[in-house]
């Protein structure tokens, strides 16, 4: 008889694509995912899975290159750099109009109500609105207004929502933490991709950072950047690759110097490392908070299996790395479940 799994999918921006690889590995081993709770990208992937549309979603995101991601950026002039209508409009096309009650398994999406300063669980009502509210990353996506409530990313209060599945009476709880800090041996797999427009994507990310606070002039510059990229594509121009390399390819840190500052844990602090923009600063701060909160949630309700995805593998906005992140999620899930099953005898 298949073991029934209560699956918890945490928040972590683009790293949320790793959830897809985790789900694939869980199903490959014959487990039955009986319910799912998610936050931010975890709520998006979990909702799409519960709707039975994960294959279609994966096919779409794996087809996106740097320019495709750039095209999905719809600049906002208020309360967030991106409206998100293009991205979530495509998700709506894939999933369709569904209420949570119609899903094939129980589902919970966690959001944060800024108006009343409390955690919100979506367990009924419009699936699309639940996913959109849970994934409204502050400073990046505009909030969702529901009556007099302003809803944003659930990661502000609960980046790893284990509690909603505790009463599910499943055989085991598997939680996927996207903000792990101690998995140094894992790197993104190398997947060959066309290099064109990667530097323009990185330029876009920096421009989004300067878009806070929002000014029309900056928005016009951002739209000009997109137009230039489209023109370059038409002319088959490859102006690349001078942008920063992925973290896994960056040179090692300089040797320790006498008197260099140390963190509370004793590790040396590299003084030339820091956020490149205001957007980067806000989201690095957000991720530090989520890392700490996730540790509290795990300590309070330890899952039977904890799958840790290291947060250093990619930046929160690198949504063009779906194939690599899915493969990484599958690899980490395989290793973690191997250890769990060997311990169970």
How far apart, in whole angstroms, are the C-alpha atoms of residue 111 and residue 138?
A: 12
Average pLDDT value for the chain: 81
Residues involved in catalysis: 40, 153
What is the pLDDT, as a whole number, of residue 70? 76
Across the range 209-227, mean pLDDT stands at 53
Please check whether residue 189 is in contact with residue 74, taking contact to mean a CB–CB distance below 8 angstroms: no
What is the pLDDT, as a whole number, of residue 274? 64
pLDDT digits (tens, 9 = 90+) for 35-80: 999 999 999 999 999 999 999 999 999 988 777 887 877 676 666 6
pLDDT digits (tens, 9 = 90+) for 240-254: 223 333 333 333 444
Across the range 123-144, mean pLDDT stands at 90
pLDDT digits (tens, 9 = 90+) for 13-39: 899 999 999 999 999 999 999 999 999
How far apart, in whole angstroms, are the C-alpha atoms of residue 234 and residue 228?
A: 10
Instruction: Reply yes or no on whether the pLDDT at 154 is more than 80.
Output: yes
Instruction: Reply yes or no on whether the pLDDT at 105 is more than 70.
Output: yes
Question: Is pLDDT larger for residue 266 or for residue 229?
Answer: 229
Question: Is pLDDT larger for residue 113 or for residue 318?
Answer: 113
What is the pLDDT, as a whole number, of residue 72? 79
Across the range 169-189, mean pLDDT stands at 91
Q: Which of 36-40, 119-123, 261-265, 316-320 has the lowest mean pLDDT?
A: 261-265
pLDDT digits (tens, 9 = 90+) for 230-240: 455 444 433 32
What is the pLDDT, as a whole number, of residue 316? 82
pLDDT digits (tens, 9 = 90+) for 75-86: 766 666 677 788
Across the range 147-166, mean pLDDT stands at 94
Verify cis geometry, omega within 30 degrees of 0, for the bond prior to 213: yes
> What pTM was estimated for this model as a whole?
0.78
The pairing of strands 32-39 and 305-310 is unpaired
What is the pLDDT, as a whole number, of residue 218? 53
Please check whether residue 44 is in contact with residue 12, taking contact to mean a CB–CB distance below 8 angstroms: no
Q: Which residues contact 268 (CB under 8 A, 6 or more apart)?
A: 253, 256, 260, 261, 262
Strand-pairing partners, residue 310, are 180
Instruction: Reply yes or no on whether the pLDDT at 12 is more than 80.
Output: yes
Instruction: Reply yes or no on whether the pLDDT at 341 is more than 70.
Output: yes
Instruction: Reply yes or no on whether the pLDDT at 295 is more than 60.
Output: yes
Instruction: Reply yes or no on whether the pLDDT at 264 is more than 70.
Output: no
CB atoms within 10 A of CB 58: 20
CB atoms within 10 A of CB 12: 32
Across the range 113-129, mean pLDDT stands at 95
What is the pLDDT, as a whole number, of residue 220? 54
What is the pLDDT, as a whole number, of residue 249? 39
pLDDT digits (tens, 9 = 90+) for 188-204: 888 876 554 455 556 65
Across the range 105-112, mean pLDDT stands at 97
Across the range 169-187, mean pLDDT stands at 91
Per cent of the chain over pLDDT 90 is 52
How far apart, in whole angstroms, are the C-alpha atoms of residue 94 and residue 96?
A: 6
What is the pLDDT, as a whole number, of residue 247? 38
């Amino acid at each position: 008889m298949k073991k029934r799994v209560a699956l918890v999918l945490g928040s972590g921006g683009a790293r949320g694509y790793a959830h897809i690889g985790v789900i694939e590995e869980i199903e490959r081993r014959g487990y039955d995912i009986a319910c799912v709770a998610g936050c931010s990208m975890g709520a998006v992937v979990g909702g799409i899975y519960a709707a039975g549309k994960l294959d279609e979603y994966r096919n779409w995101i794996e087809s996106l290159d740097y320019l495709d991601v750039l095209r999905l950026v719809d600049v906002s002039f208020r309360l967030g750099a991106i409206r998100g209508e293009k991205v979530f409009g495509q998700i709506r096309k894939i999933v369709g109009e569904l209420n949570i009650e119609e899903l094939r398994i129980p589902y919970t999406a966690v959001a944060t109500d800024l108006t009343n300063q409390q955690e919100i669980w979506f367990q009924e009502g419009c699936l699309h609105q639940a996913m959109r509210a849970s994934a409204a990353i502050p400073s990046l996506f505009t909030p969702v207004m529901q009556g007099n409530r302003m809803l944003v990313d659930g990661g502000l209060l609960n980046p790893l929502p284990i509690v909603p599945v505790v009463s599910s009476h499943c055989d085991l709880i598997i939680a996927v933490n996207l903000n792990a800090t101690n998995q140094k041996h894992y790197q993104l797999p190398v997947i060959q991709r066309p290099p064109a427009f990667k530097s323009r994507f990185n330029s876009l990310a920096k421009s989004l950072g300067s878009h806070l606070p929002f000014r029309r002039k900056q928005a016009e510059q951002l739209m000009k950047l997109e137009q230039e990229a489209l023109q370059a594509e038409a002319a088959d121009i490859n102006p690349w690759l001078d942008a920063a390399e992925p973290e896994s390819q960056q040179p090692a840190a300089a040797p320790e110097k006498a008197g260099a500052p140390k963190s509370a844990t004793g590790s040396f602090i590299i003084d030339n490392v820091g956020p490149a923009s205001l957007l980067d600063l806000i989201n690095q701060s957000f991720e530090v908070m989520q890392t700490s909160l996730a540790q509290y949630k795990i300590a309070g309700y330890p899952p039977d299996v904890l799958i840790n995805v290291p947060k250093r593998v990619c930046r929160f906005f690198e949504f063009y790395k779906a194939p690599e992140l899915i493969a990484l999620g599958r690899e980490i899930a395989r290793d973690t479940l191997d250890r769990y099953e060997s311990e169970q005898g």
